[in-house]
C-alpha cells in the first residue's frame, strides 16, 4: 500500500501486508503520467539497512575506525609528549654531537637492549650503520618495557657528553652487567671513557 500527499508528488508512506508497525518504505511517488520518480524522505532506522548507499557508507566508516584503532594500538608512548617535528638518524646526531650537546634532540632507531631491573635505560642502534646511542632516564620517570628490544623507537631528550674516570667506568660497566644478568670482569675496562647519551624525556615504541 502507498499513500501520496495532496499534490500527488510526495510519498507519505508505503507498506506491505504483514509488515511490522514501524516499517516504512520510500522512493516512489506517482505523477499524472506513468513515470516513477525517486524522492528522499526522512528514513527511519528500520529502513536504513535496506539502502545500499547507507550500507556501503557504514562499511567504509567501520573500516576507517578499525584502521584508526589499529594505528593507535601500534604505538606505545612513554614519558612526556615529543616536541621535535622530525627525528634524525643516529649517525646524523653523532656526526654533529658537539653541536647538539646540551640541546633537545630526537632520534629514531631500533631498540637492542633495555634495563632489565628498573627499565631506566635503553640502547638504540641505527640498522644501516650499526651506530648506537644510549637513552638514560631517572628511575621512575620512564620504565622502558622488557619487550622493547627488536622494535623501532623514537626517543627524545637532551644530548649529554659523559666523561668517566677508569674507576667510574668500571662501576658503570659493573652496573650494566648486573642489569643484563651477565658476569663482569673489571679488567675489561681499559681506562677512562667518554661517550654521548640522551637524557630521555619521552619516547614512542612502534610495534
The pLDDT of residue 182: 86
Contact between 119 and 142 (Cβ < 8 Å): yes
The pLDDT of residue 132: 96
Cell (9 digits) for 49: 539497512
User: Using the 8-state DSSP alphabet, how is residue 56 labeled?
Assistant: H
Burial per residue of 20-41, b for 16 or more beta-carbon CB atoms within 10 angstroms, e otherwise: eeeebbbbebeeeeeeeeeeee
The pairing of strands 88-89 and 104-114 is parallel
The pLDDT of residue 117: 86
The pLDDT of residue 74: 78
Classify residue 55 as left (phi > 0), alpha (psi -120 to 50) or beta.
alpha
The pLDDT of residue 26: 43
Tell me: domain 76-206, CATH 2.40.50.140, correct?
A: yes
Render each residue's pLDDT in the chain as its tens digit; 207 residues: 555 566 655 555 555 555 444 544 444 434 444 433 344 444 444 444 544 554 676 677 766 666 655 444 579 999 999 999 999 999 999 999 999 999 999 999 999 999 988 899 999 999 999 999 999 999 889 999 999 999 999 999 999 999 999 999 999 889 888 877 889 999 899 889 999 999 999 999 998
Question: What's the pTM value of the predicted model, to 2 decimals?
Answer: 0.61
The pairing of strands 193-206 and 132-136 is parallel
Per-domain residue ranges of the chain: 2-73, 76-206
Contact between 145 and 75 (Cβ < 8 Å): no
Contact between 160 and 93 (Cβ < 8 Å): no
The pairing of strands 121-125 and 132-136 is antiparallel
Amino acid at each position: 500500500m502507498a499513500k501520496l500527499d495532496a499534490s500527488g508528488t510526495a510519498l507519505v508512506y508505503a507498506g506491505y501486508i504483514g509488515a511490522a508497525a514501524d516499517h516504512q518504505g520510500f522512493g516512489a511517488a506517482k505523477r499524472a503520467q506513468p513515470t516513477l520518480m525517486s524522492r528522499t524522505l526522512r528514513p527511519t532506522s528500520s529502513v536504513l539497512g535496506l539502502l545500499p548507499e547507507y550500507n556501503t557508507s557504514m562499511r567504509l566508516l567501520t573500516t576507517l575506525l578499525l584502521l584508526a584503532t589499529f594505528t593507535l594500538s601500534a604505538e606505545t608512548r612513554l614519558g612526556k609528549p615529543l616536541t621535535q617535528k622530525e627525528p634524525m638518524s643516529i649517525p646524523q646526531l653523532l656526526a654533529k654531537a658537539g653541536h647538539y650537546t646540551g640541546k633537545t634532540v630526537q632520534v629514531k632507531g631500533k631498540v637492542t637492549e633495555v634495563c632489565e631491573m628498573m627499565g631506566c635505560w635503553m640502547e638504540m642502534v641505527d640498522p644501516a650503520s650499526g651506530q648506537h646511542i644510549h637513552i638514560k632516564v631517572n628511575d621512575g620517570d620512564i620504565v622502558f618495557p622488557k619487550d622493547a628490544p627488536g622494535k623501532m623507537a623514537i626517543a627524545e631528550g637532551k644530548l649529554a657528553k659523559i666523561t668517566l674516570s677508569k674507576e667510574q667506568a668500571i662501576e658503570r660497566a659493573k652496573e650494566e652487567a648486573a642489569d643484563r644478568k651477565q658476569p663482569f670482569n673489571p679488567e675489561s675496562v681499559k681506562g677512562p671513557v667518554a661517550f654521548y647519551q640522551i637524557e630521555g624525556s619521552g619516547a614512542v615504541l612502534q610495534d
